[in-house]
Amino acid sequence: MTLSIAIAGKGGTGKTTLSALLVRALREAGIRPILAVDADPNSPLAAARGVEEGKPLADIREQGSSPEGSPPSGVGRVRAVDDEIQRAIVEADGFDLVTMGRPEGPRCYCYVNTLLRRSLDELSRNYAAVVLDNEAGMEHLSRRTTNDVDFLVAVMDPALPALRAVKRILTLCDELPVRIGHRIVLVNRLRPGGVAGQIDRELAALSAQRLADVPQDDDVERAGALGQDVFSLDGQTPALLAVNKIVEALHVIHS
Ligand SMILES: Nc1ncnc2c1ncn2[C@@H]1O[C@H](COP(=O)(O)OP(=O)(O)O)[C@@H](O)[C@H]1O
Ligand SMILES: [Mg+2]
């Protein structure tokens, strides 16, 4: 049974970094193959994972919805979307990457989105784990371009604006057209002091599990600033050790 994880949260809190660390931790836990879905419109995940990005699926939607570019029959269209998805997959070391691109353009892509979701759903079944890096607004989840997820991980840094974003995300979960198995809140870049006490109290009152916090990690910060991927980081780096713990916990909950 595929383990599916969607990452959401305010911009800059570490979603892309954490989804890349999650992919690395899953891979090192022997959970393979892994599909990484980059739903950020700027598609930075490819860089974070040290691979060239493929053709964004938004291009597929554009083609699929243009009268001259689409095959005449419904069956043909389904096949065309399937073929495009196959072409959009970029193979990396131990995981595959697919880039979603923009969730919406000038036209309505509802029909093509439905096909896309079905194809992604089928594709996901071939993987032991799927990690979806959402953009801040959770557009893909709320527009149903993605499927049900086992774990929605709401990421925040230890600051009140990010906490408010997490609360909004958890509220939105109730209204989403996708099924969310478990809600996880992940505090990233944790360091002593600040508003930690207030955050602890407020998080304890939310309907989400806090499996482990990820510390502020200078190696991760340096790698980010240099545009390096997290796969080159030392295996003992504190952020990775924390993410390993989270993966262990997710695995236990899921099985
Ligand atoms: N645990 C961490 N320790 C130090 N720096 C981090 C950590 N997590 C993320 N960062 C840094 O924070 C910045 C924003 O992270 P990013 O993953 O791009 O956020 P998002 O995808 O949510 O916008 C990056 O420069 C990244 O290197
Ligand atoms: Mg990002």
Percent of the residues in the chain that have a pLDDT greater than 70, as a whole number: 74
Does the pLDDT of residue 52 top 70, yes or no? no
- Give the 3-state secondary structure of residue 34: strand
pLDDT digits (tens, 9 = 90+) for 69-102: 444 456 777 777 778 778 788 888 789 988 776 5
Ligand nearest to the CA of 238: 1
Angle between helix 238-254 and helix 15-28 axes, rounded to 10 deg? 70
Distance CA 227, CA 120 (A): 29
Enumerate residues 6+ apart whose C-beta is below 8 A from 184. Answer: 151, 152, 153, 154, 208, 209, 210, 211, 246, 250
- Bridge partners (DSSP) listed for residue 151: 5, 182
Average pLDDT over residues 160-187: 90
In the prediction, which pLDDT does 49 show? 61
Ligand 2 centroid distance, CA of 78 (Å): 30
Task: Assign 174 a pLDDT band (cuts: 50, 70, 90).
Answer: confident
Does the pLDDT of residue 219 top 80, yes or no? yes
In the prediction, which pLDDT does 72 show? 46
Percent of the residues in the chain that have a pLDDT greater than 90, as a whole number: 46
Ligand 1: residue whose CA is nearest its atom 12: 14
In the prediction, which pLDDT does 45 show? 62
Q: What is the pTM of this model?
A: 0.88
Domain boundaries, the chain: 3-254
Task: Assign 67 a pLDDT band (cuts: 50, 70, 90).
Answer: very low
Among 17, 22, 186, the mutation site with the greatest number of ligand 1 atoms within 8 A of its Cβ is: 17
Ligand 2 centroid distance, CA of 131 (Å): 13
Does the pLDDT of residue 26 top 80, yes or no? yes
Task: Assign 238 a pLDDT band (cuts: 50, 70, 90).
Answer: very high
Average pLDDT over residues 36-50: 65
- Name the CATH superfamily for 3-254: P-loop containing nucleotide triphosphate hydrolases (3.40.50.300)
Exposed (0-12), middle (13-18) or buried (19+): which is 93, by Cβ within 10 Å?
Answer: exposed
